[in-house]
């Protein structure tokens, strides 16, 4: 069990949310989301972490993320079917958070390349094909899909089957200014953010 997670909640169209509720065991208690950082800080460090989060998200304006397709991560005992995402703003926000919280490496350093995504299903590898097909069909039936990024949430799991929102960080309203201002910080190189997950 992770101590906590930093996520971006997103609203999925009903057809995709239906698939998520059917194929993702965590969907009963965890909202559809884009992971920013997991595992994250334990709740007992809230006071110190909250100030760092305020600084990391200062000046970040809400934006949208395009969903160009569907993918799947395979491991020996599990397949994760997910929505592929495209947004330069999202990539910059992830890199920004990773720089600010180098003491919490994403996925505990298990994956050298971080792939932003929205999970639709977690199934046995031999069951991935039909879930992948159903997700592609549902996405193809929709107009070009984009997801609004309006806030960041700090969540902590409480098994079985529930999570607690420790804090919520609304992003500034969309405007003509740059959505995610760059933060020069050379203290520690963040993990790569890309489109592959070995």
Give me the average pLDDT of each 10-residue run along the chain (198 residues): 88 98 94 95 87 92 97 96 97 95 92 93 97 98 97 86 89 63 46 39
Q: Which helix (H) or strand (E) holds 113?
A: strand 113-114
pLDDT of residue 18: 98
- CA angle, corner 139, sides to 67 and 21, nearest 5? 100
Domain range annotation of the chain? 5-179
pLDDT of residue 92: 95
Q: Measured in whole angstroms, how far is the alpha carbon of residue 170 from the centre of its chain?
A: 16
Q: For residues 25 and 127, is the Cβ–Cβ distance under 8 A? A: no
Q: The whole model's pTM is what?
A: 0.86
**Structurally, what CATH architecture does the domain formed by 5-179 represent?**
Alpha-Beta Complex (3.90)
Distance CA(148)–CA(136), nearest Å, equals 20
* 167, 41, 7, 16 alpha-carbon torsion, rounded to 10°: -110
Radius of gyration of the chain (CA): 17
pLDDT of residue 184: 47
pLDDT of residue 192: 47
CA-based nearest residue to 196, from 34, 74, 16? 74
């Amino acid at each position: 069990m992770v101590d906590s997670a930093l996520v971006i909640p997103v609203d999925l169209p009903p057809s995709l949310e239906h698939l998520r509720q059917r194929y993702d065991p965590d969907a009963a208690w965890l909202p559809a989301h884009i992971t920013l950082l997991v595992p994250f800080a334990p709740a007992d460090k809230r006071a110190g972490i909250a100030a760092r989060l305020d600084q990391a998200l200062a000046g970040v304006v809400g934006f949208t993320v395009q969903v160009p397709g569907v993918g799947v991560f395979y491991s020996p005992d599990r397949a994760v079917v997910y929505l592929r995402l495209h947004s330069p703003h999202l990539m910059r926000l992830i890199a920004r958070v990773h720089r600010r919280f180098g003491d919490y490496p994403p996925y505990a350093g298990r994956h050298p390349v971080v792939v932003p995504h929205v999970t639709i299903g977690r199934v046995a590898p031999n069951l991935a094909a039909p879930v992948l097909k159903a997700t592609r069909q549902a996405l193809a039936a929709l107009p070009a899909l984009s997801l609004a990024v309006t806030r960041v949430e700090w969540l902590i799991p409480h098994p079985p089957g529930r999570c607690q929102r420790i804090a919520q960080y609304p992003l500034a309203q969309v405007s003509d200014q740059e959505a995610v201002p760059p933060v020069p910080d050379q203290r520690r190189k963040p993990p790569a953010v890309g489109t592959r997950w070995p």
